[in-house]
Structure 1
Amino acid sequence: MTEIDDTCRCLCAQCAQEPAPYPVIGLWAPDAYFALGPRARRAAELSDLWCVIDGPAGTTHHLCTWIDVPITDRPGTALTYAPWVRVDGADFDRVLEHWDDPLFRETFVGELSGPIPTYPDEPTTVRLRTDGLTTARFLPGAGGALARDAARGITHAEAELRIRTILLCEDDV
């Protein structure tokens, strides 16, 4: 279920050209997309970084965000998570309106579109901030394990354990 990329899916021109020391951990679409039937999937709009789904309850808008967890014993490296976040339609339109504007900086509120691998108990209501890149940075909720790890970092051994845990869970799906 979880996709592990071998290359950097972070979102600046420099990184896109260089291999990442760790995989980016995230799904290639939000959970709501996977819940759709074949016809509804064909009708949905999906890119690497955003998704629009028309459903019986209305239209939902999703952005693929990212957060780095620094690796404390390997300076300059991080384990990157790429969770999908459902945002309000007006906020989604505002982000897309300024997609290529390097000076655009705003904070939005959204809901996680699904659990974050190895952080199943994260709060579902989250904040995200545009950083003048073609994506949004996920801002973890205060007090959560992801917020703690993003602030303090984890060791290389912990990063490898998390990656192995995700890979082992894939075999069960």
Structure 2
Amino acid sequence: MNFPQKMFFYIAIFTFGLSLFILSSCKEKELHAMQKVINESEEVELFLIQDTPTNPIEQDTSKIYLCDYEAYAKVYTSKEQSDSLKNTLLDTTNYISDIEKKCMMMPKYAMRLKAKKDTLDIVFSDNPCAKAVAKHSLLKNPKKEEDKKEDMFYIDLKSENTIIKLIQSIVPKKE
């Protein structure tokens, strides 16, 4: 490699590394904000949701939506199950922070965690890959309707994570 090619190569590597650092620090900030709400939450609600989101403009105010996904059933959780869900959400070994999965979300489950001042909604997808999307008041809250998607935080989960396994053990099996 001649000198200009080497310089370009080093600049490209530096830029790539810097962008990864910036992205990971943004995720870290959002994950810490989520952890704060999870730790302070007094109520954990578990829902079964539709697999496609509803445009905010088309949402029915009499229905429950979590990250724009309509809930069609609420699943009862005991105090012990709620505590287990919180602990599992706080287990950082369930999350992937160094890569970003490029697969569609086909969610089935959602959780709403309520603290005194904050509410955290998390939607989970286990198929075709494990991902989640979260929305809470500590993230930026856009005023314009068309910017609402930007206040959601996407999280990649490990394929073998205990979050979805625990949810599946709580959700009643269809007969």
**TM-score under structure 1 normalisation?**
0.26
Q: Rg bigger for which structure?
A: 2
Give the structure-2-normalised TM-score: 0.26
